[in-house]
Structure 1
């Protein structure tokens, strides 16, 4: 609901802080007092077109702030969050607009700058204006379907349509994507087949790269160790060393024999030294043989097959080359092999998959069509009931020659959606014999406002308005009527105000008498430095002041005792 309106320097208003109550608020005042200024100001705060002509004479800028208290389930919360203007539940919503002399304007939501488009979108959600110059909401046929569904209690049928539509759309999207993918995959079928064959031949194993790299490092170290052993063996001399040692041993033995033939005895120094030298050579021969044997044993213990390192390196290079070719990591080769095999399998199973989807789509289409038909029947029944209810409201409002109907047209099947398959519009004909047309065919602003009132009154009987409903503003809905008709207008406004906030600009005492809040707009002439100026003010009336204002509206310029008595009767009837 609208709780407060603050106006600065707009036309005839210099400063105004106006508290608006729940229920029915009536604005009265003499013609030209400035009642339209309040509506223009409210429109400015909710995104209406800005005009430098709205700025009060002598002021540099005009500003208007509208404060709203939102119901917890109001759809504006989602809109604000989507725009990065999240509002906590229970926090006031402030819409502010500033217009400068150069015609530029600035818009704010809770003091955060926004575009005028955002402000207008909020205004469209928060206000409905029905009056002399515009009727917002009812003229837009896009809103009629929602009104009818709410009135007809179509929530369950609408939910079923939405549910079956989403299921059908999901299947169709899957079918489309599968066909597109299949077409693409078939174009790559030969490439995928060749790659799978290469992978099958290569047969990469998980973690094979790390295992091969480790084995290559070990084999490389082993081969270098064998080279070192061979170098050591060659340095020792191998069998040639043994042969030379044996030859030296025999030469020393011959030397000992000849020495003994020359007369040397075992006690002679020469024989002792020759014998020691022969023993040393014998030990050397044994040690050399042992060293060679140990070298051979060490080489054998390395157990390296000829060409094994080459085979490991070739394998490692092969799997790395395949990974580069496929654009994957080496460790992902087994998964890539599985993926390609699965993709080829899916291509081969494409016909079966598509056939299954076709069957599911057909079943989903049948369910969706049945849900659409059920919703259409519910709407048609609700449309007939709503038309009868509106027609009953038209007679007391002096619109008895007008006719109203709810037109429900079946759309082409390809235009069906989550909201069903119908185009819903409210149509009227103002006189017998006239053609049916949209609400815009009603030329008179006052008649259109009363027609809106009749429709809203009919909708309210089925929960069409409530805590989350927009604030409804009626501008001179009683134009050109009086007596019983004006009383009927007031009664319906009061009925609407029991479920939603209603603000009405009126010249009718019968309407004004039903107000929960009475605001009187006055215009006064005052002088500043000898120059006359005009200012509009708004006064919130108490009960006594309300009775006096009602008497003025009944009597005119001179308030008579009879007018005061009539005002008391009007007010008493309302309060009874």
Structure 2
């Protein structure tokens, strides 16, 4: 609910502060007094698109502040939560427009974008008038209005869920078809490459091992010669023979040396063991270096084959095995494709059937709700002196989507037998106002916590019809809040709170202000609306009669 509005330096308003109340709030005043300026200012702070030039002449900037009370569960909380804004007590909107056209907005002192402000304002205020392009006259919103009227949120959730599943199934099938098509385009390459890699069957680390063996074999002849010479030098014709002779000679004289040769003989024994170990290692090395020429050729052939495949496929030699596994996986897509496509096609058909069933059920309920709404509209139009008019909710097939497969349009025929058409194309100004009011009355149960503004919606009607309009506005305001800008005394008389918009002129400037009216002032204002500038006693009595049922 809108609690208050503070306007500074906007158009011809220098400073104005208003405190609104629950129920029916009425604003009256002479033509040109500034009622539209008041609505322009409210629209500005709510982020609505309106006039380009709003700053009062001579001021550097204009500013509007509005504050609201939000009941628990109000849809505005979801918008605020998405924007990361916490609201504890009241909601305060403030927006500034500088002379150079820059606009800046805040929600509870948190700077926000115009988009956030507009998204929030849609949950706070609804404007209706003869040029209503934001609400009931916009065909894009008719389906949502019908769904809300019929309480179809559960069905909508079911349809949206089915649509998401259908979209996911379609996406999965399309992706699988694309993968299979890609695999088919390279099938020959894949099968040849896998066969080639499987035939070679390279292992990680194999290239390094083969390269080491190849280099060792290439240098083996020279190595064997030197190692063989070393073996001979250590054998019986070399070091081992000499050491053996030395040991035999010392053993022969050891018993005459009184133990002096024990240590040398022990050392010689250790030397003999070391020589034997060295010769065994040399023999093993020589055995390892023994190979046929064909072995080197085989190693080189495999090494070059591995390196060639690595270059061919642009991977490291050690990654060839994993690369081959990847190619086999792509082949598996092709080999298993028919089975996968059958499964995914079945999933898509199932998802389509579920969506079609949910959408058909939603269409059925919409059709039933449309008849109920048309009947309710007929009942509302009669007291508004439009008993011959026909309101029809048309439901026609449309492209399927997350909201189902229906297009909803509110149409009217002002006289029996006349062709039906869109509200704003068929009805005259006065008729359109009454159609909009009747429709809003039928839909009002869904608008808890929403402030509704009606801008001269009673234009073109008078007498009993104007009284019927006023009573429906009062009914809409019961338990909520309605602001109505009116020139009708019958409507103004039914208001719970009344303000008069006045234009004041002096030598320097023209300004607009809003004055709250007490009971006496209210009688005079309604009397003025009845009789004009000259307020007569008869007009006052008529005003009193209107105010007192």
How does the TM-score come out when normalised to structure 1?
0.77
Q: Which residue in the other structure is 1:256 paired with? A: none
The residue correspondences of 1:473-484 to structure 2 (distance < 5 A) are 473-484=453-464
List aligned pairs for 1:378-457, cutoff 5 A. Answer: 378-411=365-398, 415-442=399-426, 444-457=428-441
Quickly say closer, same or farther: Cα 1:202–1:75, change in 2 above 3 A: farther
SS in 1 for 2:408: strand
Contact conserved, 1:192 with 1:344, CA < 8 A, in 2? yes
Query: Is contact 1:130–1:448 with CA below 8 Å preserved after alignment?
Result: no
Partner secondary structure for residue 356 of structure 2: helix
Deviates more, 1:478-487 or 1:538-547: 538-547
Give deviations 1:324-375, integer Å, cap 9, x for gaps.
Answer: 7655677765554444333322211211221222233223322222222221
1:344 aligned to 317, 320, 331, which one?
Answer: 331
Which residue is equivalent to 2:52? 51
Partner SS state of residue 27, structure 1: strand
Aligned partners of 1:161, 1:237: CA distance in 2, in Å? 95
Is contact 2:16-2:513 (8 Å) kept?
A: yes
| 1:75-90 to 2 correspondences below 5 Å | 85-90=83-88
- 1:5-28 deviation digits (Å, cap 9, x = unpaired): 222223331111223333322112
Deviations 1:254-286 (A, max 9, x none): xxxxxxxxxxxx9xxxxx99xxxxxxx999998
Matches within 5 A, 1:202-281: 202-203=200-201, 208-209=204-205, 233=231, 236=234, 239-240=237-238
Deviations 1:397-456 (A, max 9, x none): 233342210011112xxx211111111100112233432111111454343222111101
- Higher Cα radius of gyration: 1
Distance 2:78 2:307 in 1: 53
1:540 lines up with 2:516 in the alignment: yes
| Residue of structure 2 equivalent to 1:295 | 278
What CA distance in whole angstroms lies between the structure 1 residues aligned with 2:8 and 2:94? 14
User: How many Å apart are 1:98 and its aligned residue?
Assistant: 0.8
Give the whole-Å Cα distance in 1 for the aligned partners of 2:69 and 2:239. 111
Q: Distance in 1 between matches of 2:41 and 2:246?
A: 130
**8 Å contact 2:234–2:240 — kept in the other structure?**
no
Tell me if the contact between 2:170 and 2:348 (Cα under 8 Å) persists in the aligned partners.
Answer: yes
Q: Is the CA contact (8 Å cut-off) linking 2:7 and 2:41 kept in structure 1?
A: yes
Kindly report the root-mean-square deviation, in angstroms, between the aligned alpha carbons of the 2 structures: 4.5
Aligned to 2:484: 504
1:136 aligns with one of 124, 128, 134: 134
The question of 1:486 aligning with 2:466 is answered yes
Alpha-carbon offset, residue 378 of structure 1: 1.0
Q: 1:312 to 1:550 in 2, by over 3 A?
A: farther
Deviations 1:53-77 (A, max 9, x none): x443443443334444555655556
Q: Is the 8 A contact 1:2 1:68 kept in 2?
A: yes
Give the equivalent residue in structure 2 for 1:18: 18
> Taking structure 2 as the reference length, what is the TM-score of the superposition?
0.80
| Higher deviation after alignment, 387-396 or 194-203 | 194-203
Cα separation, partners in 2 of 1:13 and 1:240, compared to 1, 3 Å: closer
Q: How many angstroms apart in 2 are the aligned matches of 1:191 and 1:145? A: 55
Q: CA 1:233–1:123 in structure 2 vs 1: closer, same or farther (change >3 Å)?
A: same
- Of stretches 17-26 and 335-344 in structure 1, the one that deviates more from structure 2 is 335-344
Contact 2:224 / 2:289 at 8 angstroms: preserved in 1? no
Q: Secondary structure at the match of 2:487?
A: coil
User: For residue 465 of structure 1, what is the aligned residue in structure 2?
Assistant: 447
Is the contact between residue 33 and residue 502 of structure 2 (CA under 8 Å) also seen in structure 1?
yes
How far has the Cα of 1:492 moved from its partner?
1.4
Distance 2:231 2:508 in 1: 128
Equivalents in 2 of 1:167, 1:515: separation in Å?
Answer: 51
The Cα offsets for residues 40-96 of structure 1, whole Å up to 9 and x where unpaired, read as: 2223333323333x44344344333444455565555666676xx432244625251
Residues 238 and 543 from structure 1, CA distance in 2 versus in 1: closer, same or farther, beyond 3 angstroms?
farther
Comparing 290-299 with 385-394, which one deviates more in the overlay? 290-299
CA apart distance, 1:537: 1.3
Question: Is there any run of 5+ residues in structure 2 with no aligned partner, and where?
Answer: 258-263
Q: In the comparison of the two structures, how many residue pairs are matched?
A: 529
Task: Give the equivalent residue in structure 2 for 1:263.
Answer: none
